[in-house]
Amino acid sequence: MNPPEPQLCLFILSGEHETLPQAELCAALEAEGYAFTIHNRHRRILLLRVDPEGAKIATQRAGLVNHASIVAFESPTIEETILQFMKKTKFEQWLKPQNRFSVKITRVERESIPIDVDELQGKLGSQIWHVMNGSVEVDLAAPDVLFLGVIAGNLFFFGPHLASRDRVGFFQRRSPHRPFFVPSAIHPKIARVMVNLSRVAASDRFFDPFCGTGGLLIEAADIGSFPIGLDIDISILAGCQKNLNHYGFNFNGIIADARAPPIRSEKVEAIATDPPYGRSSSTKGSAVVNLIEKSLTAIADTLVPGGYLCLALPLEYFKEEIIPKDSFEIVEMHTMRIHRSLQRHIVVLQKKEQC
């Protein structure tokens, strides 16, 4: 059976970072096994040619991608032109008689061309109803098909909505909602980004050698992978267990030093970690750079060849020399501001095939 033809799909990126949302989306598609090509980018709008099912799955597992839709047409943001494109669009490929539908228009840029969104939504809904000869009905509360219009400056995109990010889920997984937390715990959205950058697939083994309270493990478990966490502090590991159980997840918790992880014989498919640093995190007396350098050498032995490792580090602690060059290649690197006095590198490494 031939794979579905890729279609032009639109993704609304969160805008919380310049490079991470696109990198996360592409990594999620790779993890799920969907080929794609980048068509274009308009600030927060990313256009890819991809199987719509892949677009849907990748958006649902993303932390920094807000929405995905198929592009039925692209038009200048001029009402008359938009309505002309509507008349030419074959809506029967997405709608069947008796289906319920709705239209929603959103702006993604403040300087977008002035237009009455509510009025345009009504006109586009009426146009769909007429194109379908009245065989469908409008239902704003529970539509079978939602059509999404996106205004991005002088461009307008329109097509059936595929998926949206689970905002409620991320809110519910924030540190204050967990039974055990520390102030330095990573935000669930950033944890999810790191998990996705590790290219972990559902049912893969995911390893965090500095698991702490389990933020990365929770996000990995939520997309269906099997989480393995290691920490040197038994009380922190016990808290991590509480947190994963709180969200209905099981995991393999190991009390050990990341410089000597006891899982080298059965390798994992993906790793992401946020090593300890600063006042709120414990390094058990070890210098941070030395701890990370020795841990990376040991961690390399736990990862399958070709597997990915995503690492978060403050700028002052990251030096390329700490990366074991005989084991890893640097794939990508992103800089993220946490607050005025702290910036972090998020680094993605891939283990060399011959290792």
Q: CATH code at 92?
A: 3.30.2130.30
Q: Does one domain contain both 141 and 187?
A: no
Q: Determine the Cα–Cα distance for residues 46 and 69; give it in Å rounded to an integer.
A: 11
pLDDT at 280: 43
In this predicted model, what pLDDT tens digit does every residue of 194-203 receive, in sequence order? 999 999 999 9
Residue 190 pLDDT = 95
Q: Are residues 172 and 275 in the same domain?
A: yes
Among the three residues 131, 164, 197, which one is the final residue of a domain in this structure?
Answer: 164
Mean pLDDT, the chain, whole residue set: 92
Are residue 236 and residue 347 in the same domain, yes or no?
yes
* pLDDT reported for residue 279: 43
Task: Note the pLDDT of residue 344.
Answer: 87
- Looking at the fold, whether 276 and 338 belong to one and the same domain comes out as yes
Count of domains observed in the chain: 2
The residue out of 164, 192, 211 marking a domain boundary is 164
User: What is the tens place of the pLDDT at every residue in 240-291?
Assistant: 999 999 999 999 999 999 999 988 778 999 999 999 875 445 555 457 788 8
Name the residue among 41, 319, 266 with its Cα closest to residue 153: 41
pLDDT above 90: residue 129 = yes
Give the model confidence (pLDDT) of 29-82 as tens digits: 999 999 999 999 988 999 999 999 999 999 999 999 999 999 999 999 999 999
Within a domain: 305: yes
One domain for residues 152 and 277:
no
Which among 144, 164, 184 is the end of a domain?
164
197, 237: one domain: yes
For 158-173, write each residue's pLDDT tens digit: 999 999 999 999 999 9
d(CA 12, CA 127) in angstroms, rounded, equals 25
1 in a structural domain: no
Residue 286 structural domain: 168-351
Residues 206, 148 within the same domain: no
> Measured between alpha carbons, how far is 105 from 121 in angstroms, rounded to an integer?
6
Asked if residue 159 and residue 176 are part of one domain, the reply reads no
pTM as predicted: 0.93
Same domain, 192 and 140: no
